[in-house]
Structure 1
Amino acid sequence: MTLQPLIFYASLFILSALVLKAIKHSRRLPPSPWALPIVGHLHLLGPSLHHSFHKLSTRYGPLMSIRIGSVLGVVTSSPDVTKELLKTNDVTFAARNSSAAIECLTYNSSFAFAPNGPYWQFMKKLTTVELLGSRTLLQFLPIRTNELHELIRFLFEKSKSGGSVSITDELLKFTNNIISQMMLSIRCSGKGGQAEECRTLAREVTEIFGEFNISDIIWIFKSFDIQGFRRRFKDIHRRFDSLLENIITNREKLRKEKKESEEKVKDLLDILLDVLGNQNSEIKLTRDHIKALFLDFLTAGTDTSSMTVEWALAELINHPMVLQKAQQEIDQVVGRNRLVQESDVPHLPYIQAIIKESFRIHPPIPLLNRRALEDCKIGNYIIPKGTLLFVNLWSMGRDPEIWKNPLEFQPERFLSQSNSEIDVRGLHYQLLPFGTGRRGCPGLSLAMQELPTTLAAMIQCFNFKVTSPDGVVDMSERPGLSSPRAQDLVCAPVARCAPSILN
C-alpha cells in the first residue's frame, strides 16, 4: 500500500473521531436552539442580549446553551442554578471574559478582568481594604456630601426659573465628580482641559465597551478590523494614557517638592503611588497597572450609579403614591430643616426598599459575565472549559415564580416578612446587582452609601414635573450591554422645601 492512501484513511479516522467527540459533547450541553454555521445563534439575538436570552429561556428553560458566533456560552435565569454555578463552583467560574477593547484600553492589566492569580488577589485586597475600605470611604464623605449639595443647589436654581433639566446629565456629572475626586482630586464637571478630557474619555470608553465587535466572536474575522474598532481603540488609549501620565507625573513632582501632612486626605492616586514606591510590596505595581485601575473605576463607578438613581426616580414619578410615602418617611425621620445624610439611611427602610426594587426591575448590568476555567458538571450537563456564563439578572427580576406581580413597581415587597431579609450583598441569588463571590463588585459599600442618600435628598427637596403631555415617563430601555433609559429623564424640579435646607 502506498503512503497516500494511508494518509487519507488516517485523516478520515481522525476527522470522524473529532466529529463523534463534538456530537457526544454537544449532547451533554444544556438545551439549545438549532445553530447556523459560523454565526451560531446570532440570527436569534437582538441588540439587547438580556431581552433575547429572556425570550429564548421561556422555550429552552432556565439553563440553556448558546453559540454567539464561534463562542460557546450558557445562560441561566434561575437563582438555584446561579447559586450552584457561582457559589458551589465559584473557583471554576472565577474568570471574566475579555475583549479586544478591554485588552487594548486597559493596558491588558485590568483588575476587573484579570485572571484569578497573585496579581488579582493582591489588587482585590488593595481595592477592598485600602481604596474602598470603610476608613477610606469615611475620609471621602466630605466629597460625597459637597457634591450632593452642589446637585441640590443646582436643582433649586432651576426650580426658581421653572425650567426643565436633564436629570440624566446631572446625575452622570454628580457620580463622575465623586469618582474623579476620590481617584485624582479632579472634579470632572469643573473647568479646564484635564477635567473636560477626563469627562469626555469616560463617556467614550463606556460607549465603546458596550458596542458589538464581530472580531470578538467570529474567529475568522479576528485578524481583521472590519468595523474600524482598532483605530478608535488606539486613539482613545493614546489620549487616556497622555492624560493620566501627565497627572501622575505632576503628582510625583508635587510629592517630591512638598512632604505632605499626615492629616491630609490622600486620594487613590496617592495610595497607589505609595504602593508603587514600596519595594517590599507583595506585587510590583507598574504605572500601567495604576492607569488600568483608574479606567476600571471610571467605567464601573459612574454610569451604573447614576443609572440606578435615574431609574428609581423615573419609577417614583410614575407612581406618585409611592413617592408620597417615601417623602413622608423622610419628613418624619429627617424633617425639612436639614438635608438627608448618609447616616440617616439605616433609619429609612422604605428608601432602601425603593433602591432594591429598582435594582430588581432595572439592573444596571443586566447580565453577569463569567468564564469557565475548567469543565464543570451541573446536573446532567457538562459545561466545557472556556465556556462563557451569562446570568440573566434582568430575566430573574421578571420571573413570576420568584416575584409576585414582577412587572409592577412595588417597594413594599421588600418590607414583607418573606422578603425583608433579602439584600444586595451577594447572598440572595434572586437579587445580585453587584454580583457575588470573589468576583463581586468591590464598590458595593460605596454605592449603598451614595445611592439611597442621593435619591432621598432629591425627593426630600423636590417634586418633579415631567415635560411630556401625559405627564408619564417613558420607561423603555436603550439597547446595549447595560440598561440605560432610551430617553434622557428631562423634568422640571418643583421645590417642596426652602433652599436654606442646605445651610
Structure 2
Amino acid sequence: MAALTDNIFFCSFSFLVLLICTVLFIVKSFSVQLVNSETKHRTPPNPPALPIIGHLHLVGSVIPKTFQNLARLYGPLMQLRLGASTTLIVSNAQVAGEVFKTHELNFCNRPEYGSSDYDNYKGSSFINAPYGPYWRFMKKLCVTQLLSTFQLGRFTHVREQETKSLLDFLVQCSREAKACDLSPKFTALTNNIICRIAMSTTCDADQIHRVVRECLELGAKLSLGDVLGPLAKFDLFGYGKKLAKVMSEFDRMLEMITKEHEEKLDHKCSEVEEREDMMDILLQVYRDPNAEMKLKRNDLKAFFLEILLASTDTTSVALQWAMAEIINHPRVLKKLREEMDSIVGSRRLVKESDVPNLPYLQAVVKEVLRLHPSAPFVLRQSSEDCNINGYVLKGQTRTIVNVYAIMRDPQGWTNPEEFMPERFLDGDGTDQNLMQMKGQDLRYVPFGSGRRGCPGAALALTVIQPTVAALVQCFDWKVKGGSKVDTTEGSGFSMGLAKPLVCYPITRLDDLLSV
C-alpha cells in the first residue's frame, strides 16, 4: 500500500514538473516571438501628434533648428508627420553614416515633391533623377567636363572680372561714405559668374535670376503643399499655375541663348574653341550620334535651371555669413590679414592661385560652412525596407538628413556653437582631421556625401574663398547701426541672415583699388 502511494505521488509530481516546464517553455517562446515581432516592426520615435496636422504645430520658422531641438528630445532618428506627409529626420553623424554609407545604394534616390507636377522639364532633372543610367551619365559628365578642375580653370578670368567689379563698386561707396547692402551685391556677383561660365552671357543675367528666384520660391511653396496630401493636386493657392508660367518664361530665354550657341557651333567659330562653356559642351554631347547617352533638349534646359537654382543663392548666402562672422570676430579678421600680408603682400590683389597657400582663409570658409550650411538638409528616399539605428524603415520613405544639426553636434565637435576656424588647422585635437570637404568624415557634410554629394562643391569654393580674401584684404568694415552684425537666422530652408548685411566699406589699399 505504501509502495502504491509512493508511486502515485511520484507520477503526480513528475506530471506537475512536466506541466510547469511546458508552461514556462510556451511562455518563453511566446515572449521571444513577441519581442522579435516588436523588434521587427519597431518604428522610430516621434513627438505626440495632433489629428490631421500631425506635428506641424511643432515646426518653427527656422526649420533646421526646429528639427535639431526635437532631435535632442526624441533622438537622432525620429519620425515626423507633417500633415499628410511622413518624413524621417536624421540628426547625427552615426545615423547619417548608415544612410550615406551602410545603406547608400538603398538611399540613392531623392523624393519627388508637389512642384514636380508643374515642372516643364519633368523627367529630365539631374538633381532629382532616379539612380540609374541617366543620372550616372550626367554625374560623370559633371565630374569629367562640366565642373572639372580644368573647366573651372578656363573661367578664372571671369571670376576675377566679376570680383573686381564688386570691389570697384565698394570703393565708390567708400569714397562717398555710403553704406552698402552686401546681400544683393553678393547675389549679383554669383549670378553673373554662373551665367558666364554656364552660357557666356550677362545680358540676361538679371532677368534670368529673377525668373530662377521665382521658380525657387514657388517650388518651395508647392513642396510644402505636400502636407495637404491629395488636396495638393487641386492647386488651391494657384502656385502651380504661377510656376508653370514662370518656367515657360525661363524656357523662352534659354531657347534663345541655346540657338545662339548652336549658330556658333555650326560655323565652327573660333570663339567657341576659346570659350567652350557648359552649354557648348552639352550641345556637343546632344548632337553626338555616338554619345553614351542620347540627351533630349529638355535635359539640357533642366540642367541649366538646376545649376542656377543650386548655386546662385546658396553661394551668395555663404558669402553673407562669411563676412558677418569675420566682422563680428576681429581676432579672425586680424589673423586673415596677417596671413595675406605675409603671402600676398599689399602690392597686388589676391588671386585664386593664392588660395592653396592661405590655410587660415580655407579654415575660415570651412568653419562658415559648418555653422551655416547653405543647404542645411540632404534629401533621400529609401528604395526598399531596411534597418537603420535599430528601427525598421519601409521602402519609399522620405528621409531628411539635417546636416545643420550634425555639424553642431556636441558629440562630434568641441564648442560646436562657437566660430573657431582653428579647429580645421593641424594641432587642434579632435577636429584636426576634418581637412576635406568630400563628405568622408560624416561630422562635416556641407556638400552632402556619397554618390549623390553635390558635384558643384569646387565651383562654390572657387567663388567663396577668393571673394572673401579680396574683401578682407581691401577693406575695413563698419556695421551700420551697431558694432556687430545681427546674426539672427532667417526663416525657410536656406537659413540666410534674417536682416540685410549693411556695412560701410573703408578702403585700405587706395593704390591697389584705384578706379
Relative to the length of structure 2, the TM-score reads 0.88
Among 286, 292, 298, the alignment partner of 2:308 is 298
Contact 1:368/1:392 (<8 A) preserved: yes
The AA in structure 2 aligned to 1:158 is C
Is the CA contact 1:338–1:501 (under 8 Å) kept in the aligned structure 2?
Answer: no
1:33–1:41: 8 Å Cα contact kept in structure 2? yes
Q: Structure 1 residues 406, 214: closer, same or farther in 2, change over 3 A?
A: closer
Unpaired runs of at least 5, structure 1:
1-22
Q: How does 1:262-411 map to 2 (within 5 A)?
A: 263-411=273-421
1:85-124 pair list within 5 angstroms: 85-105=99-119, 107-108=121-122, 109-124=124-139
Partner of 1:488: 500
CA offset at residue 196 of structure 1? 3.3
Measure how far apart 1:230 and its partner are.
Answer: 1.1
* 391 and 288 in structure 1: CA distance in 2 versus 1, 3 angstrom threshold: same
Match of 2:193 among 178, 199, 202: 178
Deviation at 1:333, TM superposition (A): 0.9
Flag as ranges the 4+ runs of structure 1 deviating above 6 A.
23-26
491-500 or 255-264, which moves further after superposition? Answer: 255-264
Q: Measure, in 2, the Cα distance between the counterparts of 1:72 and 1:268.
A: 38
Aligned match for 1:475, one of 449, 470, 487: 487
What amino acid is aligned across from residue 54 of structure 1 in structure 2? Q
Q: In the alignment, which residue of structure 2 is the partner of 1:18?
A: none
Displacement of 1:501 in angstroms is 5.1
Equivalent pairs counted in the alignment come to: 476
Please tell me whether Structure 1 or Structure 2 has the larger radius of gyration of its CA atoms.
2
The answer as to 2:34 corresponding to 1:31 is no
Partners of 2:419 and 2:359 in 1: how far apart?
Answer: 16
Structure 2 distance, partners of 1:380, 1:421, is 29
What is the aligned-residue identity percentage? 39
Q: Is the 8 A contact 1:156 1:499 kept in 2?
A: no
The C-alpha deviation readout for 1:365-385, integer Å capped at 9, x for no partner, is: 111111111111123211111
Measure how far apart 1:204 and its partner are: 1.4
Question: Structure 2 CA distance, aligned partners of 1:26 and 1:36?
Answer: 26
The reply on whether 1:233 has 2:243 as its aligned counterpart is yes
Amino acid corresponding to residue 64 of structure 2 in structure 1: H
Give, as a single letter, the amino acid of the residue that structure 2 aligns with 1:491: C
Superimposed CA distance per residue, residues 405-453 of structure 1 (whole angstroms, 9 cap, x where no aligned partner): 2222111122214322203211111110100001100011122222111
Aligned match of 1:254: 264
Confirm or deny that 1:169 pairs with 2:178. no
Q: Secondary structure in 2 aligned to 1:400?
A: coil
Matched with 1:6 is none
Q: Deviations over 1:177-214 (max 9, x none)?
A: 11000111112xx5xxx333212112212322333645
The residue matched to 1:222 in structure 2 has which SS? helix
In structure 2, stretches of 5+ residues that fail to align are: 1-36
Alpha-carbon displacement from aligned partner over 1:252-292 (angstroms, at most 9, x marks no partner): 23332454367412111111110111011121111111110
Report deviation, 1:24.
6.6
Alpha-carbon offset, residue 162 of structure 1: 1.1
Q: Decide whether aligned partners of structure 1 residues 103 and 467 sit closer, same or farther in structure 2, where only a CA change above 3 A counts.
A: same
Contact 1:426 1:437 in 2 (8 A): yes
Other structure's SS at 2:234 match: coil
Decide which moves more: 398-407 or 265-274: 398-407
Amino acid at match of 1:111: F
CA deviations over 1:194-241 (Å, ceiling 9, x no partner): 333212112212322333645423323132111211111111111011
2:209 paired with 1:199: yes
Tell me the distance in 2 between the aligned counterparts of 1:126 and 1:316.
36
Q: Which moved more, 1:78-87 or 1:218-227?
A: 218-227
Which residue matches 1:8? none
| In structure 1, distance between residues paired with 2:155 and 2:303 | 18
Work out the CA distance in 2 between the residues paired with 1:232 and 1:467: 37
After TM superposition, give the deviation of residue 43 of structure 1 in Å: 1.9
Residue 461 of structure 2 is matched in structure 1 by: 448
Q: 1:428 aligns with which of 441, 444, 452?
A: 441
RMSD of aligned alpha carbons: 2.0
- In the TM superposition, what are the counterparts of 1:116-135 in structure 2 within 5 Å? 116-135=131-150
